[in-house]
Amino acid sequence: MTFTILVVSLVLLAAVALALALITDALSARREAAVVSAFPPIGQIVQVNGSAVHALVKGAGPDIVLIHGASGNLRDLLPLIDLLAPHFRVTAFDRPGLGWSDPIPNSANLAAQSAQLAAAARQLGITNPILLGQSYGGSVALAWALHAPLAPRALVLVSAPSLPWPGHLDIWYRITNTWAGRTFVIPLACAFVPASYINAIITDIFTPDPEPPEYRAYVGAGLALSRSALRANCDQINGLHAQIVAQARLYPTLTLPIELIHGDADTIVPLSYHSQPLAALLPDAVLTVLPGAGHMPHHHFPDVVLAAIHRAAARSQLR
């Protein structure tokens, strides 16, 4: 009798688990389809080694390449693109695995990401660009300068993680760094995380600065909630610290002009762990500190970012 009860219980548990998996899969697919419809590609698709890279090109003049941060896509950079287009040929990429760019083998590797984007840049006729990287994109820009065969002319790093930091990642990344987290938690997040939670995260990213009024309407935050994008982003964040430790040893080899922009109220990528010591380490780095600014100064202080870009252009003899 006890054995029969056990078997029945296991069968019921398996049935419930299967039903939950089917519901989760259906809701995830529906949510992904809705986001794809609402936020289609706004640029062109470049094929690199059989993988798609989404690129938006605008303007004419010297080349500048923009690389977005974690959990993002190139739409985050649209206001900056419009400001730069009268002066530069601006190319913004979706990083591998995010937005409309396909994941690649070893998508979490900074050098692999930079190589993929550099190859796409070559196909677009870009040579010796200025690179602007925001947040995680700044780490990719540094890897590009260190490793990619398409040499940048200068770097502009906005709120970028550049040096090792103390502490641990939050619980979300620690959970998704496990097999169970990747297999079960990520699909559940895709299916069931409410829009209010996403909006709260956006607010936190901008704090203490206010979120721009139209930001949610155009940024396509839901693109980061697809199962593939969640996995790619979690892998990238979980692998970042070890890669920063490794690539920081190579920073003294960088001799190109570097402009650093960082808010002193940035709690996501603190100034004191990253841009401040990096500026002291690199003689060709110029640091601009924004008092009271948070993690997204390219939205609230675009004039400061533009000034840094023009300085980088002048220092690299583009102007």
39-168+231-315 has CATH 3.40.50.1820 classification: yes
Residues 6 or more apart whose CB falls under 8 angstroms from that of 25 comprise 187, 191
pLDDT of residue 154: 97
Q: Write b or e for each residue in 261-289: b if 16 or more Cβ atoms lie within 10 A of its Cβ, otherwise e.
A: bbbebbebbbbebbbbebbeebeebbbbe
86: left (phi over 0), alpha (psi -120 to 50) or beta: alpha
Question: For the chain, what are the domain ranges?
Answer: 39-168+231-315
**What pLDDT does 269 receive?**
97
Minimum mean pLDDT among 39-53, 156-170, 287-301, 305-319: which range?
305-319
- pLDDT in the model for residue 226: 92
**Model confidence pLDDT, tens digit, residues 180-214:** 988 989 998 888 888 888 899 999 999 999 999 99
Query: Can you give the pLDDT at residue 17?
Result: 52
Question: In angstroms, rounded to a whole number, what is the distance separating the alpha carbons of residues 94 and 42?
Answer: 11
Pick from 119-128, 148-157, 184-193, 292-301: least confident? 184-193
pLDDT digits (tens, 9 = 90+) for 13-63: 555 555 556 677 676 678 778 778 889 999 999 999 999 999 999 999 999
Give the rounded percent of residues in the chain with a pLDDT score beyond 90.
Answer: 76
